Amino acid sequence: MELNPYQERAVAATGHCTILACPGSGKTRVLSERAARLLASHSKGRLCAVTFTRDAADELRSRILASCGQDHARRLAVGTFHSIALGQLKRINRAKPLRLLSEGERLAVLRRCWQQHAPDLEFDDVIQAIDAAKARLTPPVFSEPSLEALFHAYQELMESEGAMDFSDLLLVSVRKMANGEMAPLPIRWLLVDEAQDMDEVQMEWVLFHGRAGVEVTLVGDDDQSLYAFRHALGYAGLRAVTLALSATETTLPVNYRCAPNILAHAAKLIVHNKDRAAKKITAHRDDPGEIRVVRAPSRWDEVDLIAEAIKKSGDGQAWAVLGRTNSLLDAAEVALSDAGIPYSRSGGKSVWEHSVGGVLLGLLRSVLDDSWTGVANAMSFCGLQAGWVNEHSRRSKGGCIPRLELAIEEARDNAGLKKTLLGLRNGLAGWISQARKGRPSLVVHGVVGFLADYCKPNQLDLLIRLGTVIAKMPGSLAQRLSVLGRPRSRGHVLPVQIMTLHASKGLEFDNVWIMGCEDGTLPHTDSTEEDERRLLYVGMTRARHRLILSSAIEEGLESRFLEEAGLC
């Protein structure tokens, strides 16, 4: 496909430039073509292209070399911010190799510091606070004295062990360039993909190269800035680099993906954001698509409608089912399983791998093979203290029934505990008997009935639906568990994909269904209005031909974003 006039102008730009684009205008294509043209038209000079993930870096490298040829590979470096910064630091620390912590090691060190200095805080909040501190250039200011003590202890531990984490790579690189210990990369051109996702440290790394005379090109879309929770600067970062380097700004306003009526509603939504570049987004296509809004009585009715629509559309139709959170998508996964529709789930665990789904499958496996783990997890799910369950698991031996009988004996002075264990022991004996008689559906209903008494209100409906799916499946219990245990997000991608709105960024589909469009869900209460509006805009512009947005009456009022988009 040849470049359109807008893309051609962006590729041919000279000097520092920022290219703002709308979804469907080929940002990565523009960046790769610009890189290829720079290399091909100049016999000297090195080029570095930077992005945020290894997969994106691999794709960018292959696109550039496909356009300009392998002869230019020696003058080209493509990588993530962190991998490029790591290379810089290695070159000036050859006498002392860097010790880079893996993510597991980093979390283990952080956990030790957390247990010593801030055990009253949630560990997830601690991780978020440390990550936020390392995404800024200024010395961190913490809301809690214990967090500050934890941060300094963490840094001292890493320093004493001669180690760094991934966030340190860029911070240290920027500081060494600032104090003259390290020079910017010896390159002529620096190109940054998805530049709206830069944080403060990454932006400063780019600016050091621009101030040193490197020709900088940023490609990004301010309307697709979805990672403020990861400290991305969004449009403010793009503008800061543009102003600091006196760069030209080029806009690609033509969308080549979406049907015009789908794009029109998405554009009508996003103009309500104030912190964005002014651009009139237009569609290249002139064939109309389908766009509908659906209001269902309940969440389960909503996901059943999704499954019904996908089934009616026929085999081979590419669909994406998008939701604001992974937990919201569990219901969609159950409905597709119930309808026998093959699907892939991208990002997040399958509903069969976590929470009540994992407990249900684990206990069914214990019925089948007498393994203890499923029983132990069920005991914990039923409210038994984790420490007691773990201690009993370490001490007891043999099959599940004898181990449960030992637990009942140990719990003889605790009536509530003993009642739960007796119910589990008696239930397990009955389920094993039914399984041996070839009655898998009775086993499933029995296990579901037992676990139902211990479910929280928001788990009960899910448990019942999961049980219904397994009970309706053909084959023995072993065959059913084998089918459910297969990975659903690896290997080749199936026509129906389930993912969060965040995970859908950069992708496109013929048909898109966005579920959970209620106030409080989308927009979500944990984020800002503008961030949430961008998220829905990105989801809407994934659709080529058909877009359906749905909500559930039981879950609250229809999202006000639908009115802003002119859909109600």
List the binding residues: 21-28
- Distance in angstroms (rounded) separating the CA atoms of residues 187 and 46: 5
The DSSP bridge pattern shows strands 248-252 and 344-345 to be: unpaired
3-state secondary structure of 525: coil
Which of 261, 293, 322 has its CA nearest to residue 509? 322
Cα separations in angstroms, 39 against 47, 48, 435:
7, 11, 67
Per the CB < 8 A criterion, the answer to whether 247 and 190 are in contact is: no
User: C-alpha angle 371/375/378, rounded to 5°?
Assistant: 150
Residues annotated in a binding site for ATP: 21-28
Per the CB < 8 A criterion, the answer to whether 515 and 323 are in contact is: yes
Per the CB < 8 A criterion, the answer to whether 372 and 365 are in contact is: no
3-state secondary structure of 174: helix
Q: Which strands sit side by side in the sheet containing 543-552, from one edge to the other? A: 290-296, 543-552, 509-514, 319-323, 496-500, 344-345
Q: Within 13 A of 392's CA, how many CA atoms are on the CB side?
A: 25
**Phi, psi of 241, deg, nearest 5:** -70, -40
- Tokens 């996003």 locate to 270
H or E element, residue 164: strand 163-164
